């Protein structure tokens, strides 16, 4: 035996500093180490999988959380809807309608079924749904450029591509009411509207060539009935706009301009609508 060294004989016994160990014990230790290494490798794989899963679940959680918050926000903004089963009476007489969901409440606004509407419509009237609107009776056209309507007659006025007012502002596609130097001048234009419009809007100003001291008045007539009269206009009058002039679904619309001369008027942005 050599002190301080591991030395063994064919007997399978090994010595180190006076301590002996058999080959069988060494093999057992080697087997245990191999088993531990195998377990460690398996644990390493599991740890990596757990890391992957935790990141995956974290990402899924964050996505679900974001979607949930978004849904809660949409839910808070969603309109409140409730249905009611109402019957319908006219002058004490019950009407034959489908009561089921005959009225809907949407964010405080009440909507009634078509049965209600049909019973309340004037006799011999029809209901038409078009362009996201409900019409009782005839369908009336939407907002339209007045200058594109058919002209029946006109005197001392014309459409021009552009013109400039007394404050130096230039406008395109305007109706020029020409007064010249004639005293007590009367200009007019008559449009055919075929009872399709309820209101008129327009803007007007005085031409840059107008003379100080001149004045004029715009008059609007619907089927020969005066529906609008302007204030007295002169060169110091700035561009002004008039809206919602009632033209009462007229057939003929007249724009008239009376002046004492040298005070031409221009009209722009004229529309008829309902």
* Least confident piece of the model among 22-26, 156-160, 265-269: 22-26
Between CA 109 and CA 170 the distance in angstroms is 46
> Domain 144-273 falls in which CATH fold?
Jelly Rolls (2.60.120)
- Give residue 1's pLDDT: 36
> Tell me: the pLDDT tens digits for 43-102?
777 777 777 777 777 777 777 777 777 777 776 777 777 888 888 787 778 888 888 887
Mean pLDDT across 113-142: 69
> Tell me: the pLDDT tens digits for 168-197?
999 999 999 887 666 678 899 999 999 999
- Give residue 224's pLDDT: 94
Per-range mean pLDDT, top range of 21-35, 48-62, 65-79, 254-268: 254-268
- Give residue 261's pLDDT: 74
Please say if the pLDDT value at position 236 is more than 90: yes
Question: What is the rounded (10 degree) CA torsion for 103, 108, 109, 112?
Answer: 0
């Amino acid at each position: 035996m050599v002190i301080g060294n591991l030395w063994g004989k064919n007997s399978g016994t090994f010595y180190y500093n006076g301590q002996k160990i058999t080959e069988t014990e060494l093999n057992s230790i080697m087997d245990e180490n191999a088993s531990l290494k195998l377990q460690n490798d398996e644990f390493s794989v599991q740890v990596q999988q757990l890391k992957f899963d935790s990141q995956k679940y974290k990402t899924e959680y964050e996505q679900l959380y974001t979607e949930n918050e978004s849904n809660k926000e949409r839910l808070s903004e969603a309109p409140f809807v409730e249905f009611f089963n109402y019957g319908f009476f006219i002058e004490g007489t019950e009407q034959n309608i489908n009561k089921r969901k005959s009225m809907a409440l949407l964010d405080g606004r009440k909507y009634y079924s078509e049965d209600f509407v049909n019973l309340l419509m004037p006799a011999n009237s029809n209901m038409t749904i078009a362009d996201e609107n409900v019409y009782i009776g005839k369908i009336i056209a939407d907002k339209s450029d007045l200058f594109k309507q058919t002209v029946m007659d006109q005197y001392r006025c014309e459409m021009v591509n552009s013109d400039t007012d007394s404050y130096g502002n230039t406008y395109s596609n305007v109706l020029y009411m020409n007064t010249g130097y004639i005293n007590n001048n009367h200009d007019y234009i008559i449009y055919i509207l075929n009872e399709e419009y309820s209101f008129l809007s327009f803007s007007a100003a005085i031409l840059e060539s107008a003379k100080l001291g001149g004045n004029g008045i715009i008059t609007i007539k619907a089927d020969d009935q005066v529906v609008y009269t302007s204030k007295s206009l002169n060169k110091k009058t700035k561009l002004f706009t008039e809206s919602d002039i009632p033209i009462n679904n007229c057939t003929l619309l007249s724009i008239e301009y009376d002046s004492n001369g040298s005070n031409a008027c221009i009209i722009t942005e004229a529309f008829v609508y309902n």
